[in-house]
Amino acid sequence: MMDLLRQDGEIWDLFTRQEEYGSCDQDRHDRFPYYRSRHRDICVPRASQVLVENGFHCEYPESQPFAICLTHDIDTVYRPLRSKGYEIAKALKDGNFKRAGNTALQMRSKKLPAWNFKEIADLEESHGACSSFYFLAPEKGAREYAYALEDVEGEMCTLLDGGWEIGLHGGCEAYLNPERLQAEKRRLEKILNRQIAGCRNHFLKFRVPETWELLEDAGFLYDTTLGYSDCVGFRNGMCHPFLPFNLNTGREMDIMEIPLTIMDRTLLHYMSLNPEQAWAQIERLLATVERLHGVITVLWHNEFMLGTTLRFYRKILKYGHDKGAWMTSGEEIAKWWKKEGLRAPPTE
């Protein structure tokens, strides 16, 4: 595979993210943005296309035609106060004074209860799917600290028992700080009493190749951070999981990347698309990955499971279900890919 990609210098630079090595073109979150890239055809997975056109192929369980990797970054587990205020107003309007009173009592606490993990899992299960939930695990006092893992231990264990994945949502410094990354991994594993396989960094913070090196050293099976916050698409031209190639050391790395393709807030916020344009973009990306028998990774935050973004997520699940896609977690895809992967064309 590597030899084939090397034959085209532009494809090789795209695949390895050569332009990001030593780059100073970072945004305020220390991310390399799409608008700084010289590779403009972001919606065409050019590297995967080259591989498929040259006979590389993959197979999925039960001959499913392509895969949708469903993921959720858990930045908060508490309902915002404004949603509680709306709930009280609605209860009063409906004459349900008991519910209004109970909700008002909850507002006296700074910690409002964890909310919609079960609803998300139930929605996915109704479409024959499961997913990955990435939880923050920084030490108390860190700027990204938003909840105590102990508060959601029961919810995480329930998800695990049902077949969903719990992974690490690496903190603001973990993407470049090995001590922070490994401490957060240990903290989450201690709560779960099991090893975790996957990671995605908070704010999609990532440095090529340093973050891959840290994840490899920390013993993760896979990462799924490599995507743009400001544009949907294929950051390194791949719509298949891959082992990154480190240009500094000249070697293939022992950490699988399942690249991120679509994030919820990218469509309506960063790209400023209206709902019709946003769905058209999602549908085009789904069809592209289906055609190449690839893997498309979508990120829907738990707090975005409402309104327009919830309708998008439902439509993604329906699309995958109708097409017979394998809709599953990053861990399941990584384990399958490690065993099967992209198969080279038969030699004559």
For 306-343, the pLDDT digits (tens) are 889 999 999 999 999 999 999 999 999 999 999 998 99
Q: Which two three-digit tokens encode residue 77?
A: 């587990």
pTM for this model (two decimals):
0.90
Say if residue 189 is in the same domain as residue 171: yes
Residue 344 lies in a domain: no
Average pLDDT over residues 252-274: 96
Chosen domain end from 64, 93, 113: 113
Q: Report residue 346's pLDDT band, with 50, 70 and 90 as the boundaries.
A: confident
Say if residue 187 is in the same domain as residue 329: yes
Say if residue 88 is in the same domain as residue 137: no
* Pairing relationship of beta strands 198-201 and 132-136 according to DSSP bridges: unpaired
Contact (CB, 8 A) for 333 and 295: yes
Say if residue 165 is in the same domain as residue 100: no
Separation of alpha carbons 198 and 304, rounded Å: 22
Q: Give the count of alpha carbons within 13 A of 277, CB side only.
A: 9
Residue 345 lies in a domain: no
Query: Which range (73-82, 273-282, 290-299) has the least confidence?
Result: 73-82
Residue 54 lies in a domain: yes
Separation of alpha carbons 76 and 303, rounded Å: 8
Say if residue 89 is in the same domain as residue 41: no
CATH number of the CATH domain containing 264: 3.20.20.370
Say if residue 48 is in the same domain as residue 105: no
Say if residue 89 is in the same domain as residue 200: no
Chosen domain end from 113, 129, 161: 113
Count of domains forming the chain: 2
Region at 55 (left for phi over 0; alpha for psi -120 to 50; beta for the rest) = left
Domain that holds residue 95: 80-113
Say if residue 35 is in the same domain as residue 93: no
Q: Which two three-digit tokens encode residue 325?
A: 């896609």
Say if residue 84 is in the same domain as residue 59: no
Question: Would you give the DSSP letter of residue 149?
Answer: G
Q: Give the count of alpha carbons within 13 A of 25, CB side only.
A: 11
Say if residue 190 is in the same domain as residue 74: yes
Percent of the chain scored above 70 by pLDDT? 91
Say if residue 100 is in the same domain as residue 217: no
